[in-house]
Structure 1
Amino acid sequence: MADRNALIKELIAMQKKFIEDEHKNGFNAQQYFTPDSGSVLDGYRGTFMDKSMELVDAAHADKGSKR
């Protein structure tokens, strides 16, 4: 459970950073899908998806279900 809570905190921190950048710079779909190296969005989508799926898998494991 501690790992799950840490994972949730990481996801929330990522979301906050994304929202902060969006408010500061606006949303640019091109930058979202093909971000500049080193930008806030660089690796964001893949990392967020991986962490989210890790959380989903843990929830399924707890319930004994499959996705």
Structure 2
Amino acid sequence: MSSKAEKIAKLIEMQKQFMEYEQTHGVEPRDYYAPESGHPLDGYRQQYRDLAMEVLEEAHKTVGSKAFS
């Protein structure tokens, strides 16, 4: 994924998939924070965080600021 718009679109798609899963199956905190291997949410939180941080870093580069000092 190269462009910021593509990354944002991926984040939105991930949110939609999460909401669909949550509405159908419900989500316990352990499912979100520590899912078992193979669980549909396994790796979701980390992947979402990493992608969101890439978008944040790109935004800071665009305006010439820093995310964290």
Of all paired residues, the percent bearing the same amino acid is: 41
1:4-28 deviation digits (Å, cap 9, x = unpaired) = 1110111011111100000001121
1:8-65 deviation digits (Å, cap 9, x = unpaired) = 1110111111000000011210111111222221101111000000000000000000
The runs of at least 4 aligned residues of structure 1 exceeding 3 Å deviation read none
- TM-score, with structure 1 as normaliser: 0.91
Matches within 5 A, 1:40-59: 40-59=40-59
Q: Which runs of 5+ in 2 are unaligned?
A: none
Aligned residues: 66
Measured in 2, the distance between the counterparts of 1:40 and 1:55 equals 24
Measured in 1, the distance between the counterparts of 2:36 and 2:16 equals 20
Which residue of structure 2 aligns with residue 22 of structure 1? Answer: 22
Which residue of structure 1 aligns with residue 63 of structure 2? Answer: 63
Q: Which has the higher helix share?
A: 1
- TM-score, with structure 2 as normaliser: 0.88
